Amino acid sequence: MRPPFVIAVDGPAASGKGTISTDLGAHYDLPMLDTGLLYRAVGVMLKRQGGDLDDAGAAAKVARDLQAGDLDDEAFRTREAGECASRVAVHPSVRAALLDLQQVFARRPGGSVIDGRDIGTVIAPFAPAKLYVTADAEVRAERRFRQLRGRGEDVTFPDILEDIRRRDARDGGRSDAPMVQAPDAVLLDTSQMTIERATDAARRIVEAARARWEISR
């Protein structure tokens, strides 16, 4: 049986995958799930309770109790939230607690766009379209720096570059569901691309995957 048309968009922080996913969701009229938000919510909510990010049991409890309505919070978009997210994301029990919600979404018959780190490898390995979006660390740091400054955060470029490098190492080095390109994902390096060119390139990759999916049974 043909799987639902899931577009899996993985890659490191500030690679452009969020913008690309939003564009693809609008273009194909598919619902979108930003899975980074789940880990951000767990990290920030745990901290708000005065919990320890390294305490796997406490983090997993927050993950199990997470409600869809909890996700709409600007505090999850901050620099600190990204760091908290990647620290709780190393715990296998946290990942396990968030698995069901993500897989139910991935099985929606009408298809979806899901962005994260392990979508093409763990959450939806059956996805007919897989992208691995990346860019040089300096380019990503510059983008994230401008974005955070635009939101009024008092940050410096060297600090953000350091964040990006630390997060890449942690996300890529963890033993459970590390950030890695799925063997059947198409690599899209956006280092030299404007947003328009990157979304264009992503649409072309997905269009080819969709044509293959449409003739499959």
Beta bridge partners of 113: 7, 32
Minimum CB distance to ligand C5P smaller for 29 or for 72: 72
135 CB contacts (<8 Å, ≥6 apart)?
14, 15, 16, 143, 189, 190, 191
Among 20, 143, 164, 171, binds ligand C5P (CB under 6 A): 171
Does position 47 interact with ligand C5P (CB under 6 A)? The reply is no
> Which residues within the stretch 70-99 sit at the binding site for ligand C5P (CB under 6 A)?
82, 85-86, 89
Minimum CB distance to ligand C5P smaller for 37 or for 201: 37
Does position 35 interact with ligand C5P (CB under 6 A)? The reply is yes
**What is the rounded CA–CA span in Å between residue 1 and residue 106?**
15
Does position 11 interact with ligand C5P (CB under 6 A)? The reply is no
Does position 163 interact with ligand C5P (CB under 6 A)? The reply is no
Among 111, 167, 182, 190, binds ligand C5P (CB under 6 A): 167
Minimum CB distance to ligand C5P smaller for 92 or for 212: 92
Minimum CB distance to ligand C5P smaller for 35 or for 190: 35
**What is the rounded CA–CA span in Å between residue 198 and residue 122?**
25
Per DSSP, the residues of 19-71 read: HHHHHHHHHHT--EEEHHHHHHHHHHHHHHTT--TT-HHHHHHHHHH--GGGG
Residues in the chain: 217
